[in-house]
Structures are given as C-alpha cells and as structure tokens.
C-alpha cells in the first residue's frame, strides 16, 4: 500500500514583515509595465497584424527569466528582495500573456489565420528557446573557469 501524496500547505497571509516585498513587487511591476507600454508605443503593430512589440517583450522576458534566477542565486544568495522585484515584479509587468492572446484573437477575427498561427507557434517555440538560452548563458557566466 502506498502512502497518499503530501499536499503543500497553503501559504499564510503576508505578515507586516513581508510588506516590503509586496511593495517591491508592485514597484517592479510598475517599471515593467511602463517599459512594455513604451515598447508598444515605439514598435506599433503593422498592417499585417503581427504584434512585434508584444512578441519582442515576451521573448526578451523569457530570456531574462532563464538568465536571472541562477545569477541571483549565486550572486545574492541571502537577498530576499532581488527575486520578488526582478522576477515577479519587473518581468511579470514586462511580459504579457493576455496581450499576446488578444493579439491572436484580433488576427483570427481579421481572417489572418496563417499569421496568427505563426505568431502563436513562434511565441511558444522561440520563447522556450529564449528561456533555455538565458539559462545556458547564466550557467556559462557562473561556470568555474579556473580549472584548465
């Protein structure tokens, strides 16, 4: 007879001590969201409907989310502030799944199904490759090159 799986315990409501982290997430999210808006303003969606600004933001965010966690773990292991600000806040505000889905919806409603398919597939495939690339870059940066 096997033991039943152990379910994770629900997290407690943030304590007063955690409000500094909440504020850092909010600040990071604000900075990331404004950055995303600026990119959307500078790179408007062309007539063919492929939303390059959303695509670029999501791919760069995927790369950074692969790159930053290993670097932060090595460079600032005791910091409890870096990850909430950079990963949850900044990159959470920078990347945008909902806008990508809206872009897809608009393309499909406009009859641009081929462009929509290309947008969806390239977002997923290139996004995954970007995370892998970011993680690979972090591992290369953190590799001990002293031996050899």
Within-domain flag for 2: no
Within-domain flag for 5: no
Within-domain flag for 69: yes
User: Residue 83's domain spans which residues?
Assistant: 19-142
Is the whole model's pTM more than 0.85, yes or no?
A: no
- Please write the tens of the pLDDT for every residue from 65-89: 999 999 998 887 667 788 899 999 9
What rounded mean pLDDT belongs to the chain?
88
Closest CA to 45 of 114, 106, 127, 94: 106
- Please write the tens of the pLDDT for every residue from 6-58: 666 666 665 556 788 899 999 999 999 999 999 999 999 887 789 999 999 99
Question: How many Cβ atoms are within 10 Å of 57's Cβ, its own excluded?
Answer: 24
Within-domain flag for 3: no
| pLDDT given for residue 148 in this prediction | 54
Within-domain flag for 125: yes
Confidence band of 124 (pLDDT split at 50, 70, 90): very high
Taking CA atoms, 94 is separated from 39, 104, 118, in Å, by 10, 19, 22
Q: How far apart are CA 103 and CA 86, in angstroms?
A: 26
Within-domain flag for 7: no
Rg (CA), the chain: 19
Number of domains comprising the chain: 1
| pLDDT given for residue 92 in this prediction | 94
Within-domain flag for 137: yes
pLDDT greater than 60 at residue 136? yes
- Please write the tens of the pLDDT for every residue from 23-33: 999 999 999 99
Within-domain flag for 122: yes
Give the mean pLDDT of 103-132: 95
């Amino acid at each position: 007879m096997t033991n039943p799986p152990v379910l994770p315990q629900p997290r407690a409501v943030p304590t007063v001590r955690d409000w500094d982290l909440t504020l850092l997430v909010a600040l990071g999210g604000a900075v990331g969201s404004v950055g995303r808006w600026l990119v959307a303003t500078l790179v408007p969606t062309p007539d063919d409907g492929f939303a390059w600004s959303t695509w670029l933001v999501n791919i760069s965010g995927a790369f950074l989310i692969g790159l930053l966690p290993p670097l932060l773990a090595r460079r600032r292991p005791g910091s409890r502030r870096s990850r909430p600000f950079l990963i949850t806040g900044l990159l959470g505000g920078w990347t945008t799944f909902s806008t990508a889905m809206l872009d897809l919806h608009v393309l499909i409603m406009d009859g641009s199904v081929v462009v929509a398919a290309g947008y969806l597939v390239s977002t997923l495939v290139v996004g995954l490759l970007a995370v892998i690339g970011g993680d690979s870059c972090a591992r290369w940066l953190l590799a001990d090159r002293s031996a050899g």
